[in-house]
Amino acid sequence: MSEQTPQPERSGPAIGADEWVARSGERARQRTGIVGRVQELYERVPKPAVFAFVVLLAVLVPLVTAQTDNDIYFLRVGTVALVFALLALGLNVAVGFAGLLDLGYIAYYGIGAYGYAFLSSDKFGIHWQAWLVLPLVVAVSALLGLLLALPSRRLVGDYLAIVTLFFGQIFYIIATQGYRISFLGLNEDLGFDRANWDLTGGPNGIANVDRLGVFGLEASSERAYFYITLTAVVVVFAVLTLANRSRTGRAWRALNDDTLAAQAMSMPVNWLKLLAVGVGAAVAALAGTINAALLQGAFPDDYNTQVLIIIYAMVILGGAGSLAGAVLGAFVVSVLMLEGLRPQTPIGDFTGNGRWVFYATILVVLVAAIRPWRRLAAILAGIVAFGVVVHAMVAVTTDRGTDGLLNMGPDEYSGGGPLGWLIRHWLALPAGTYELGSRNWFNFALVGLIALVLCLTVVKGWKRDALIVPTVWLAGFVWETRLAQETSGPTRFLLLGALLVGLMIARPQGLLGRPRVEIV
Amino acid sequence: MAQPLLELDNVSKAFGGLQCISHLDIDVKEGEIVSVIGPNGAGKTTLFNLITGMYRPDSGDIRLDGESIVGLAPNKITNRGVARTFQTLRLFLNMSVKENVMAATYGRTHASLFESILRLPRARREERESNEVAQEKLSFFGQRLMGYRWNQPAYSLSYANRRRLEIARATATKPRILLLDEPAAGMNPVETHEITELIAELRKQGGYTILVIEHDMHVVEGISDRVVALDHGVKIAEGTFEQVATDPRVVEAYLGTAETERK
Amino acid sequence: MLGVLAYFQDFQLTWSYFFDQLVAGLTLGSLYGLIAIGYSMVYGILKLLNFAHGEVFMIGSYIGYFVLTWLGGAADPSIPVAATIALMFLAAMLGAGALGVVIERFAYRPLREKRASRIAPLISALGVSFFLQQLAVLLFGSAPKQYDAFAFDGGSLFTSVTIGPFRIQYMQLFVIVTTVCLMAALTVFIARTQVGRAMRATSFDLEAASMMGINVDRVIVVTFFIGSVLAGAAGVMNGLIFQNVNPYVGFQVGLIAFTAAVVGGIGSIPGAMLGGLAIGLGRSFSIGYVSSSYQDVIVFVILIAFLLLRPSGLFGTPAPQKV
């Protein structure tokens, strides 16, 4: 291959020739289904244009909405999504750029919130202005990030994971237990007034935290917070984009690929790791401050491991290493999974308490994963037929199973309109599963569903196609018997956990990330 | 002649009970090309790892320009002018060809993250310089790593091109001494021949002192001012290629003798 | 300084109180050690931080509970007490072992086959852990399930043998002895059997082992199985000692047990056991003498201290990085 100089301009495949081999990566990246095609389109548009367009759109959102209750709710959902976007951006530095598993990330978020609450609330009677508190809290958090990563600096990433995970846990313990601190009985000697000194307010947190304000101007409207958070996201996005392109960003990505080689190529890997954790901590603290001001309080359960998993799911879904992906992931997860599955909210009503999200996701996955379309059509027809037949068979043997449950909940919010009607005639739902204590149908179905899904990953060919049919039906069954009722609690976390595992196996690059190559 | 550029003084290193390097003395003078040969397991790569600070010697001293570099972190040693390539190819696979080389200029640039984000003059200047360095180092290999390959991820490169990129990346750290770990491994005869010329060219153009591990005796013969032969961590011969190649101990190490079957 | 002394109650300064903490610590330590072995074995072979291991322990604990309930509960079991407890252990160990194998097969092996990035299996493990935890919430409810082990045989299992100031409950003795037996069995298994040898070879160098004709996949399955079996046993012990099980216990105990594995020197089996004992004693004494709220903080401090002073742990050897 090296006798003659390769011709870069030569076109057309020539097996064994350098360029054809060289471009194999690009070709492999093409044709990865619908998600891949969307991604291809997205890559063709210049990035700054996309960025400007999205920002413009976001700026317009509060302007076009009037101040009805519903709109305020939507605005709040937007602000919360933006806070999550901020968190996802920050986490992306350690996880996406530098490839470090920072599981204490949630603690920095909490430190931001509690730090702001300490310095701007009635708790200790301190009411500093936000412009004073913000830099201080962010700096302290970044410093803590550096310090925490210090013990694990000489060690492989796994130790960093365990130390940081533990740290996050400790933060939560201090937050929930820190209302009765005793210094070995020395409280009085040390100048604290009570035997049990209250620092964090314990499980009740700290309420009545000041709103964000600058020189007497106070942000009090939903709109103001939306814009403040949006500004923070835009600034952090820009800062991280520039950081990624700088020598430091290159070094982060280099140590993600090969730490040892990075060190041999003059990069101080330990410092770079600390820096990545520290930068992430700063962004998280900023998000925490905003969150505390937004909620006017700091409450421990906003800063626990479950929230950490949510942020991880956002980054992974969006595509680790991609900043746009982090923002997209944050919006998808927080709007669809957190709000879309929450009952009795406008978005929840819109999605039928997540029913639409649930079935649409199944459909999208099927469409993306199965081709040609003839096979897809056959499978879809099979799914419908299967349900109708089962329904008919159950109807013949017992009337208890046919018109079960869609209206059996404690509230009448699960009628579900036309979709509900269709589902009623497709599934065979046993009566009474919502009633407390009779979880058996659901438990068996859920375990069966998990078993079926696991089987799906093993079998191939027509067997798999055939297996998809009962799996989808059972998924619907499980959803309607109980998951739909638990959407604000375990359901979404169950789905998030499954999402993380599934993504890692099926599409580790997420929606917008680039596929990574480890060893060739 | 003044003091050697790189000096290994009675260096030993053992892993568990296995003595990988024992009481090794090697001098490399400025501008020299020295080859290290020896059968598998002779301790050649360990030698490189000791010089670059990946391992710390159990005893002895390693000096660069008269100053001890023992105990320094690998990146510090690289900053002092020692760069290496890896026998097993350790490129930053998910970064582009250009970025691979630019990343290696980290030690030569100083803009802080803060400066980079605000795009202050120093950061902009250094970025430009890094870009130029990348261009210069990659163009050393003609068109092979230029043009459309410039922005391709390193994992898309062919094996030979990866070896070339490793060399380009190492030279981007602005080394005084270059440690090449089997630069011709896995290459076909034509490419091997090319590498031989290239190493000489590296010294001529870049002024590097070169220490190279190589198995291919044609390469060794073609490039070396001096050859050091190792076996079981001990230096068994040193001198010109002719001297070393005909040394009975070297022949024995490679081929074994009738009584002691070694390999 | 008087304040500090005054802080301790009189009873806290007696020997019998001290021995109580010691015995409680040893019991707790046995438990942590058993779980830590699973972490350590998997890490030794796959270099994978198996977050889901704590959840395996939790499921094991639930299985024990359901067997107990099925047999009529602790107060009135339908078969003799010893048989009941034996059955609980057996079912929990087998069930947990099967779960471990399933996790390996479906969550980790596909990643191994795809040669995924370093961080991917960790995130997958995190996902599995979270999934199992929430699955338990959905299946069993988030309220704790009561083992009610005090009711066994009229509470005789929780009476103590007393020798001077030294006092140990039968239940504690039982946990410690069972752990020692399991450890002995494991040691023999690894030292003497063909599979054990293969495990040692694989943990030394996975690729070389596979080239030497060792079926690495099988070795990994066996490793997960054994680790999970021990976690299942620990799950039942945990239920017997603490009387209940809840979906979150796996995460909490798992984290502590993993710390034990790190402190003992990850990859080393005796190290994991010793690390478990160290952490168990640390926790028990901090509960006894400092505060029950901050036992985890103490464990964390131990972890940080070890990482700073002896990163390879009590039994680990600093492995040279391969270049």
Q: Averaged in consecutive runs of 10 residues, what is the pLDDT profile of chain C (323 residues)? A: 59 82 93 94 88 95 94 84 92 97 93 80 91 92 87 81 84 93 92 89 84 88 96 95 92 90 86 92 86 77 79 65 51
Nearest CA in chain C to B90: C323
Whether residue C116 and residue A518 make contact (CB cut-off 8 A), yes or no, is yes
How far is the alpha carbon of B224 from chain A, nearest alpha carbon, in Å? 24
What is the reported pTM?
0.88
Does the pLDDT value for residue A439 go beyond 80? no
Give chain A's mean pLDDT: 80
Run of H or E residues at C312: none
Closest CB to A101: pick one of C119, C128, C258: C119
Closest CB to A1: pick one of B75, B143, B158: B158
Mean pLDDT, residues B167-185: 92
Whether residue A184 and residue C121 make contact (CB cut-off 8 A), yes or no, is no
ipTM of the complex: 0.91
pLDDT reported for residue C225:
96
- Cis peptide bond upstream of C144, omega within 30: no
- All residues of chain B having their beta carbon less than 8 Å from the beta carbon of residue C323 are 45, 48-49, 54, 86, 88
- All residues of chain B having their beta carbon less than 8 Å from the beta carbon of residue A242 are 116-117, 119
Residue of C102, C108, C118, C119 to mutate, interface with A, max A Cβ within 10 Å: C119
Closest CB to A264: pick one of B74, B148, B156: B74
SS3 category, A191: coil
Query: CA-CA distance, A45 to A42, in Å (whole number)?
Result: 6
pLDDT-based confidence at residue A409 (cuts at 50, 70, 90): very low
Query: CA-CA distance, A180 to A195, in Å (whole number)?
Result: 8
pLDDT-based confidence at residue A202 (cuts at 50, 70, 90): confident
Beta strands in B85-184 (DSSP E): 177-181
Q: Are A426 and A384 in contact (CB under 8 A)?
A: yes
Mean pLDDT, residues A123-128: 80
Does the pLDDT value for residue A273 go beyond 60? yes
Query: CA-CA distance, A74 to A503, in Å (whole number)?
Result: 29
Query: CA-CA distance, A110 to A106, in Å (whole number)?
Result: 6
Whether residue B90 and residue A258 make contact (CB cut-off 8 A), yes or no, is yes
pLDDT-based confidence at residue A393 (cuts at 50, 70, 90): confident
Mean pLDDT, residues A101-109: 92
Does the pLDDT value for residue A14 go beyond 80? no
pLDDT reported for residue A248:
95
Query: CA-CA distance, B20 to C262, in Å (whole number)?
Result: 29
DSSP state of B54: S
SS3 percent helix, strand, coil of chain C, rounded to 5, is 75, 5, 20
Run of H or E residues at B150: none
Cite the DSSP H helix spans in A181-268: 222-245, 247-257, 259-264
For Cα atoms A313, A318, A323, give the angle at the middle one, nearest 5 degrees. 115
Residue of B72, B75, B137, B150 to mutate, interface with A, max A Cβ within 10 Å: B75
Closest CB to A497: pick one of C111, C130, C297: C130
How far is the alpha carbon of C120 from chain A, nearest alpha carbon, in Å? 6
Lowest mean pLDDT segment, chosen from A36-40, A336-340, C51-55? A36-40
Name beta bridge partners: B8.
B26, B62
Measured between CB atoms, does C321 come within 8 Å of chain B? yes
At C184, the amino acid letter reads A
Residues 209-248 in A contacting B (C-alpha not used; CB under 8 Å): 239, 242-243, 245-248
Mean pLDDT, residues A298-314: 92
Per-residue pLDDT reduced to its tens digit, A148-169: 777 665 555 577 888 888 888 8
Nearest CA in chain B to C117: B94
For Cα atoms B206, B207, B213, give the angle at the middle one, nearest 5 degrees. 90
Cite the DSSP H helix spans in A93-187: 105-119, 130-149, 157-177
Which of these, A94, A461, A49, lies nearest to A308 by C-alpha position?
A94
Q: Are C279 and C299 in contact (CB under 8 A)?
A: yes
Whether residue B95 and residue A254 make contact (CB cut-off 8 A), yes or no, is yes
For Cα atoms C35, C36, C42, give the angle at the middle one, nearest 5 degrees. 100
Please give the structure tokens belonging to residue A349: 């009503």
Neighbours of chain B (3+ CB pairs under 8 A): A, C
Return the residue matching tokens 């413009």.
A56
pLDDT reported for residue A436:
44
Mean pLDDT, residues A62-71: 70
pLDDT-based confidence at residue A34 (cuts at 50, 70, 90): low
pLDDT reported for residue C1:
44
pLDDT-based confidence at residue A189 (cuts at 50, 70, 90): low
From residue B112, how far is each of A97, B77, B123, B126, C188 by CA, in Å?
17, 21, 8, 11, 56
Does the pLDDT value for residue A343 go beyond 80? no
pLDDT reported for residue A22:
55
Cite the DSSP H helix spans in C104-215: 109-113, 119-140, 170-192, 194-204, 206-211
- All residues of chain A having their beta carbon less than 8 Å from the beta carbon of residue B94 are 253, 256-257, 514, 516-517
- All residues of chain C having their beta carbon less than 8 Å from the beta carbon of residue B15 are 320
- All residues of chain C having their beta carbon less than 8 Å from the beta carbon of residue A180 are 293
- All residues of chain C having their beta carbon less than 8 Å from the beta carbon of residue B86 are 323
DSSP string, C68-80: HHHTTTTTS-SS-
pLDDT-based confidence at residue A413 (cuts at 50, 70, 90): very low
Query: CA-CA distance, C221 to C90, in Å (whole number)?
Result: 19
Q: Say which residue, A298 or C321, is predicted with more confidence.
A: A298
SS3 percent helix, strand, coil of chain B, rounded to 5, is 40, 25, 35
Q: Say which residue, A150 or A292, is predicted with more confidence.
A: A292
Taking chain C, what is the end-to-end CA distance rounded to the nearest angstrom?
55
Residues 492-511 in A contacting C (C-alpha not used; CB under 8 Å): 493-494, 496-501, 504-505, 508
Per-residue pLDDT reduced to its tens digit, B247-263: 888 888 887 765 544 43
- All residues of chain A having their beta carbon less than 8 Å from the beta carbon of residue C4 are 184-186
